[in-house]
A and B are shown apart, each in its own frame.
Chain A
Amino acid sequence: MSDDDKFDTWLQSAAKTYHEPPDRTPRLEMWDEIEHALDAAQVTPLAAPRERAARWRRWSAPLSAIAAALLVAVGVGTGYWLRGRAPNTPVAPAVAAATPAGKTNVTLDVALQQHMANAEALLVAYRGVDTSTDAHVRSWARDVLGTTRLLMDSPAASDPSRRRLLEDLELILVQIVQLPDSLPKDDRTLIDRSLSRDQLLTRLRTAIPAGIVSGT
């Protein structure tokens, strides 16, 4: 057995001690919290009108996704630079508080708004496409998912409502990315319903100021 093999064997055994959970799962305590939250939640499905994607938007959007990703990268980088910190360095609250929010976030805000516009275009396109173009939309969704995660790890997500929006967007995008090639009609209905219930498109549009268009 080579050293590498011995290491791998040892590693698989020793790694079991990493963050070893307690023997007992706190089931009852967690269930109480879950039940309370479910009771308190008001889930009111909205019958949002089904929207059709404009043809130009559907086909121009993938190109604009690349431009948006570049803009986001510049925005995130500038945001960190203005904070005088390396991208992987955790942002200490004191430092964040000492930085003028307006100065720090202008570029990042633009990048975020551009991303929101792109995400909105994607979701509208997703709702409008037929199953033969799903692979194309999934590829686009994968790009938007990557940018979403980049933004979630940036100062742009420090605002709680923005973070929640990005998290909900991420979850929907993961589902779209995982879709099979042939998507049954019923599944489309379910995803459309999910989009409507979460009001994701409405929330995205609310976050996009007038004048911001995907790809601009």
Chain B
Amino acid sequence: MTEAELISRAANGDRVAQRALYDAHVDRVYRLAFRLAGDDDLARDFTQETFIRAFQRLRDFRGESALSTWLHTIATTVSLNGLRRVRRIGARETVIEDAESLGSERREADPDLRDALRAAIDRLPEGYRTVFVMHDVEGFTHEEIGTALGIQAGTSKAQLFRARGRLREMLAPFAGAWSA
């Protein structure tokens, strides 16, 4: 069965079709939510809300872009809104601490520099951080990012450039560590 057929069925409430679409897309949605949230509970909440909203609005999906792009639009909106809520109640520090305890098999990097990089990314303005995470960490294209965030692809490129510049400034004390 094609994805278009699955979408049509899922839009009419076919739970089997919904599950098939969920299975096809959940990994990337969850990864994106986790990268933005840095916390498993939040990532689960954002992923669940993304699919609930998507299935409730599937009749609105016009098919001009891939379903994955549409899902990522919802996922980023849900995640960023959710994170704003979390920040507002002052729980951000807890989220970061929890994230540090996750993922024991991380790639090799100098621990101090790695921590400094994580802290620097966290300190980026929300727009810069989102574009940076989507492009440099998760490998989205600028076109995909533009669609997901409701901005132009050129704006995405500009924000990525500025994000890297900010990170370079913030990590200046470590200059040389990456060129060794």
Contacts and interface: CB of A to CB of B under 8 A. Distances in A.
B55 A18 contact: no
A174 B26 contact: no
A42 to B, nearest CB: 11
A150 B81 CA distance: 11
A29 B44 contact: yes
B53 to A, nearest CB: 8
Interface in B78-123: 81, 84-85, 87-90, 92, 99, 102-103, 105-107, 109, 113-114, 117-118, 121
Contacts of A153: 84
A194 B60 contact: yes
Contacts of A12: 136
B40 A22 contact: yes
Nearest to B115: A17
Contact of B136 (A11, A180, A191): A11
B15 interface: yes
B167 interface: yes
Given A35-B15, A178-B147, A30 B30 contact: yes
A66 to B, nearest CB: 20
B90 A17 contact: no
A37 interface: yes
Overall SS of chain A's interface: helix
A26 B109 CA distance: 27
A180 B64 CA distance: 9
Looking at B36, B92, B107, the one whose CB has the most chain A CB atoms below 10 A away is B107
Q: How large is the interface on B (under 10, 10 to 19, 20 to 34, 35 or more residues)?
A: 35 or more
Interface of B: 15, 18-19, 22-23, 26-27, 30-31, 34-38, 40, 43-44, 47-48, 51-53, 55-57, 59-60, 62, 64, 73-74, 77, 81, 84-85, 87-90, 92, 99, 102-103, 105-107, 109, 113-114, 117-118, 121, 132-133, 136-137, 147, 150, 164, 167-168, 171, 175, 178-179
Given A10-B178, A13-B107, 11 more contacts: A10-B179, A11-B136, A14-B109, A18-B118, A18-B133, A19-B137, A30-B44, A34-B48, A38-B52, A93-B90, A152-B81
14 contacts: A13-B107, A17-B107, A19-B118, A21-B31, A22-B102, A25-B31, A26-B30, A27-B22, A31-B22, A41-B56, A90-B92, A145-B150, A178-B150, A190-B59
Interface of A: 3-4, 6-23, 25-27, 29-31, 33-35, 37-38, 41, 43, 90-93, 142, 145, 152-153, 158, 163, 167, 170-171, 173-175, 177-178, 180, 187, 190-191, 193-194
